[in-house]
Structure 1
Amino acid sequence: MTQPRILLIVSGGIAAYKSLELVRLLRKRGIAVRAVLTGSASRFVTPLSLGVLTEDHVYGDMFDLKEEREIGHIQLSRQADLVVVAPATANILAKMAAGIADDLATTLLLATDKPVLAVPAMNVRMWHHAATQRNIAQLRADGIHVLEPDEGEMACGEFGKGRLPDPEAIVEAITRVLQPPFASRAVEKPGASPLLDMRKANGSGLKGRHILITAGPTHEPIDPVRYIANRSSGKQGFAIAAAAARAGARVTLVAGPVHLPTPPGVDRVDVETARQMMTAVEAALPADAAIMVAAVADWRTDAAAGQKLKKDGSGKPAPLTLVENPDILATLGRHAQRPALLVGFAAETEKLAEHAQAKLARKGADWIVANDVSGDVMGGDDNSVHIITAQGVESWDHLPKDAVAARLIEKVAHALASRSD
């Protein structure tokens, strides 16, 4: 088999310098890269630096007589297995959505018959602008794969969504889009990501499956400035969503209010309250498996105050009437569209197995993942879990949350495969 081939189009944003690391990582995976620089991109990175890393000619001139004598732009657009635009500026995204071909890069994009992955990077206000969001929606409707940008500090000093994802995350997204027949050709060198090994272990993995995941806390408003919540960071749920996407699943992640980047290839729905999370979960059905990781607040105030509550000097607390929130896991357990595999999480501080076994029966779940949160699990990077099923308790070693996620998703893949046999 020949190695998979990427045509990388680098457009002119400050994040263009990251294309050099992206090329290095792709070559490390055994993926051939041919690069195209827009005119603006050549102000940030040079053809020489990209050419050294790709070990190939770097293209940029639409009217290069040597190349165009053989209709070079058509050949370039057809010889790759995947076209990647990274970074994809607001300008090139707009041209792609409108079908404009006014330079080599946009002409290639219009002429290609291969899959296209766009990786946006721009100022936060540009990303949220109605025109950009309209263009993104149009590209996705046209079948273009569009990665969500990360959230963080911008080069301009502003903070928000619009940062180019880390090159490692872009490589993972590229590997997923290159799924058979090409993904198996991208062989990692020692010490690299276990993505391909996990796919091999799972056979077809979760390709064709829809996995629904909740993560993070919920915030239940008391008044405009206060709320009821817990200490969930969302890290474990986001790690599980990332692992499911790497295994080939279509992933819907319903996330409470956390400041974490969206994992590549994951459809994210942001919510704040338990009732909003319940609505989003039901809207995402049907799903092959649901993994309810979110630490949903058990109670909310009967009626949130419209104005900030003030102390009256009496020394007495403000009167709050609490009511129970909907039980999302139990609702799914008896739902008409109940997933084939329903997994709940139980954050406990004592009697883990006892409380989790009671929750398993009470909620109608297939598995309960119990973890002891009396230490620094909430907000930390490691976890120690116990899988409670009708067959008994399976205890895992203390592991990084990413490793817990990968192992859990492997278990989910095997369970779904066995149920469909």
Structure 2
Amino acid sequence: MSDRNGVEDLLREHAPRVLGALVRRHGDFDLCEDALQEALIAAARQWPGEGVPGNAYGWLLTVAHRRYVDLVRGEAARRRREDAVALATPDSELLARAADEDPGTDRDDSLALLFLCCRPELSPPSRIALTLRAVGGLTTAQIAAAFLVPEATMAQRISRAKQAIREGGWPLTPPGGEEGAARLAEVRHVLYLIFNEGYTTSGGDALTAPALSTEAIRLARLLHRLVPDDTETAGLLALMLLTDARRPARTGPAGELVPLTEQDRTRWDGRLVAEGVELLGRTLPKGRVGPYQLQAAIAAVHDEAGSAGETDWPQILALYDLLERTGPNPMVTLNRAVAVAMVHGPGAGLELLDGLAADKRLARHHRLLAARAHLLELLGDDGGAATAYREAARRTAGAPERRYLTERARRLAGPGERGA
């Protein structure tokens, strides 16, 4: 394998397993993670030209171990450990052990690493950054570029997270029982946030950051493989697949936003739609239905409609009714209001939006104003819709959304207002 993209995929696949082996042996997450990053960089430079080693995992583990020893040597406070670390597990033994391991029975600490990176004690941005670096195998520069922040800022965020792990002394052991379920929910939420940032960026000139949504799907696949019986994890993966299937049609030739109702559905990724629907079909009958499964079911109804006019809005509204009971939040209520408008008329939807205007979490959010503008437009109130679109445009940080909302306002405004 000499293709650079193939090499990158292979490195990300092995990254959590190698890091888990290092942390198990040495116990120092901070230095082990740094050593892994240096090994990944070395492989990314060497493998495309020289070819992938027969035992890629063993190669990475050996090189990462050497880098770890070098890092320990550079730590004056840990100098006493140098000989013990270097002699305890020689490179030749590490490589031989890795070569002899049965991939089917070898311990995989990927789930433990996800739990460690997504601890509730860390801030959401820190969880996201650390997950992408430690489990995703992305470099600090790649993560910073995806989130449109300076590399130094992202490096500081990751450093603080690793320092918190070091000071907390948190073990590389997945918790069980209620704590395990709660931590698994944290992991799902982090992957959901990563996907959402990739599907619709919170700032910048591009509508999407495909590298992030693609990585979120890869990590969700990994999580689903690790916990195959968890229906909400399966629901999360199905939601990502069914949503990302529409990404090719979400932008026009100049990168402009194309709303769902106007998208060319022949450009949707049918393979992802089929996979998401099949996964959801296997998941829903298994027991208690959670928010991710319901959101995936809503996405499936949209994806299976041949055109916007064929969308089964009564079914979507019924699903939102369930979602509001199982996972209530203002954004769910906002989306349900649109579904109500499509079933019972825009006036009914606007009444629900009026109630949301009092919610401090959403009162000044551009999506509330954009939804109001859309429903006013359906009601025939072009002037009110134009005003709401303009205000929504002022409050959004993403350039494509701002341009779209501004253009909608311009089209609806009267002749005397178009220059406003």
- Structure 1 length-normalised TM: 0.30
Instruction: Give the helix-richer structure, 1 or 2.
Output: 2
Structure with the larger strand share = 1
Higher normalized contact order (CA 8 Å, seq sep 6+, divided by chain length): 1
